[in-house]
Amino acid sequence: MEALLERIAPDSSLLQHLTRTDVAAATLSLAVLFSYLIRRRRGARRVKTTSLKGPQSYNFIVGLFPTLVRSENPGAIVEGWVGEFGRVFAVPTGFGRKNVTVADVKAANHFLARDTGVYRQTAFARVFMENLFGNGILVAEDEDHRRQRKALTPAFSIAAIRGYLSVFYDSAYKIKSAWETLLDNGEPTIEVQSWMNHASLDDIGIAGFGYDFGALDGKNPDVVKIFHAFERPETSGWVSRILFLLGPVLPVLQRLPAKHNRMMRGIKTSMAVVADRLLMQGGERGKAAESRDKSIMGLLIKAETASEGLTMSNEEVLAQMVGLFTAFMRNYESHPIICNDRTHSCSLATKRPQASTDDVIPLSNPITTLDGVVTSQITIAKGTVVNCPVAYLNQAEEVWGPDAKEFKPERWLGDSENGEDGLPESARMIQGYHHLFTFSDGPRLCLGRNFAVANFKATLSVLIRNFAFELPDGVDTKIGRHRGILPRPKLEGEEGPNVRLVVKRLE
C-alpha cells in the first residue's frame, strides 16, 4: 500500500500547494463517484426498497441530513412529515440516496428486535463512535455484541442495583446539604444541571468503579474537563463541517485528521487514560476482582484476565469504561429536575441502522406507496438505512392520545385497584421499558436502564421532599437545547447548558 501511494504521489511537495478549496473539491468528487458506484450496484439487484412518499430536498449533495442534524427539535420535523406523508416515508440524504423512516409502532418493534443482526450500524455511525468510544459494546455487532453484553449484565441486575442505592442516597443528601447552605446565604436561584452532572459522575465512580471523583465536594475531575472540551462538527470549522455532512455518503472521511476528528480521538484517549488509572488503582487486579466480582469494575477485570469464556481485550475493557462514563453523564444531563415536553422527550432522538440483508417490515396500518399501491408491509433492500424516530414515537398523539406532549406521569398509574395503567392500547404495543423507546429495545435495549432509573429516582425522592422548584419566569420560561458531546437542555439566554431554577426549602 505504501509503495502504491509513493507511485501515485512521488513528489510530496505537491501537497504543500493544495488549498482548502482543492481538498474540498477532491473530497466532493470522491463522494460523488462513490455514491454513483453504490447506486449502480444496488440498482442491479432484484430486490428493491418499496417506493415511498417523502419530503423533497433541493440540495443534491447532502439532502436533508443538515436539516435534521441542526434542528432544535427533530421530533417536530418528523411530526410534520408524518402529517404530510404518513407514518412511513423516505428522506433524501444526498447523492440520490434515501433513508426510510418508520414512525410506526409495529414497524419499530420489528426493526429494533433485529438490531445487531438483520440491521447493523451504518459505517458512518460506526466510525463516528469508534473515534469517540473505541471498540466497545456501543460499536460491537453479532457475537461480539452478545459476548460483551453478557459479560457486563450481572453488574446491572436488580440485585446489583439494590447494592448501589446507598451510594445514590449519599449523593442526594450531599446535594440537599449544599443547597440548604446556598439558600441560607441568600442565593435566589440554583443552577441545578451542574449538580446533577456531578452527582451522576460520583455515583458511577463509587458504585461502578470504587472510586470517588469528588465532584460534589468541589473537585474538578479530568472527566468533566474532557466533556467540556467537546465541540460539535458544525462549530469546528468549515472543513470539519463538510467532512461530517458528507460522512453518511463517504464514512472514511471521519478518519481524516480534521479538527473535529482529532478532537474526538483526543477525548477517547484522555478518557481511556482515566479508565486505565481506575483499573490499576487499588493494587493487584486479581484481588480487586475477587472482592468486587459483581461490580462493573470487577466484571471488567475478570473479563480482561480470563483465559476463556466471556473474555474482553484491554481495548474493549477501556472502551466499555469510556462508554459508561458518557452514558451515565447523560442520565442527568438529559433530565433536569423540572422538565417540560421539550426537555424530557428522550435520550435518543433516532436510531439509524442499515439493513445487512433484505427484509420485510410489517406495519400497524396500511399505507399508500409512491406508486399508488396500498400495502401493509414494506420491503427493505440490503444496504438501505432505516430510521426509527424515537423522540417522535415517545410523544406521538396517534400513540399516546391528544395529551401526548403533556408531562403527565399519572398516565402510567391508572386504576390501582385492578392494577391496570391508564395507557391507550396503541401505547401498550410499544415493547420497550414502560412502553417507551427511551432505552431502545431488542438486543440493544439499554443495559444500564435500571441503574439510571434507580439513580434518578433516589436523587429526586430526596430533593422533592425537601425543596420546591419553579422556573425563573414561570410557565413562560423558554427552554432551549445546548449542543455538545451530549444534547442538554438550557434556559434561553444562559451561557452554556444551564438550567437555573428558583429553589425554596419546604418547611
Phi, psi angles (nearest 5°) of residue 190: -130, 135
Cell of 276: 486505565
Cβ count near 300 (within 10 Å): 27
Cell of 499: 438550567
Q: Is 243 exposed, middle or buried (0-12, 13-18, 19+ CB in 10 A)?
A: buried
d(CA 122, CA 136): 16
403-420 exposure pattern, b = at least 16 Cβ within 10 A, e = fewer: ebbeeeeebeeeeeeeee
d(CA 154, CA 347): 24
Q: What's CA 16's distance to the chain center, in Å?
A: 39
Phi, psi angles (nearest 5°) of residue 245: -70, -30
pLDDT of amino acid 403: 92
pLDDT of amino acid 65: 80
Extents of the domains making up the chain: 45-394+437-505
d(CA 332, CA 497): 12
In contact, 412 and 422? CB cutoff 8 Å: yes
| Alpha helices (runs of H) in 251-345, residue ranges in sequence order | 259-280, 285-291, 296-305, 314-333
Cell of 181: 447552605
Percent of the chain clearing pLDDT 90 (strictly above): 28
pLDDT of amino acid 486: 66
Q: Note the pLDDT tens digit of each residue in 197-219.
A: 889 889 988 888 888 889 899 88
Cell of 347: 435520550
CA angle at residue 456 from 350 to 321, to 5 degrees?
A: 65
pLDDT of amino acid 15: 41
Residue type, 423: L
Q: In 3D, which of 285, 301, 246, 40 has the Cα closest to residue 123?
A: 246
Q: How far is CA 371 from CA 51, 84, 107, 375, in A?
A: 7, 16, 21, 11
d(CA 133, CA 35): 28
| Alpha helices (runs of H) in 100-229, residue ranges in sequence order | 105-113, 123-132, 142-152, 158-184, 192-203, 209, 222-228
pLDDT of amino acid 16: 47
In the predicted model, what is the mean pLDDT of the chain? Answer: 78
pLDDT of amino acid 340: 32
In contact, 393 and 105? CB cutoff 8 Å: yes
45-394+437-505: CATH class:
mainly alpha
Cell of 474: 414561570
198-209 exposure pattern, b = at least 16 Cβ within 10 A, e = fewer: bbbbbbbbbbbb
Q: Note the pLDDT tens digit of each residue in 409-440.
A: 888 886 555 456 678 999 999 988 889 998 88
Q: Note the pLDDT tens digit of each residue in 25-48.
A: 556 556 655 655 565 555 555 678
d(CA 238, CA 21): 11
Phi, psi angles (nearest 5°) of residue 386: -115, 130
d(CA 251, CA 261): 12
Q: Note the pLDDT tens digit of each residue in 359-398.
A: 889 999 999 999 999 999 999 998 888 989 988 999 999 9
Chain length of the chain: 507
The low-confidence residues of the chain, meaning pLDDT below 50, are 1-18, 282-286, 288-289, 291, 331-349, 418
Phi, psi angles (nearest 5°) of residue 499: -120, 90
d(CA 381, CA 42): 9
Three-state SS sequence of 336-395: CCCCCCCCCCCCCCCECEEECCCEEEEEEEEEECCCCCEEEEEEECCCCEEEECHHHHCC
Q: How far is CA 350 from CA 195, 339, 356, in A?
A: 28, 20, 19
pLDDT of amino acid 72: 75
In contact, 101 and 75? CB cutoff 8 Å: no
d(CA 294, CA 292): 6
In contact, 91 and 387? CB cutoff 8 Å: yes
In contact, 132 and 244? CB cutoff 8 Å: no
CA angle at residue 144 from 386 to 133, to 5 degrees?
A: 75
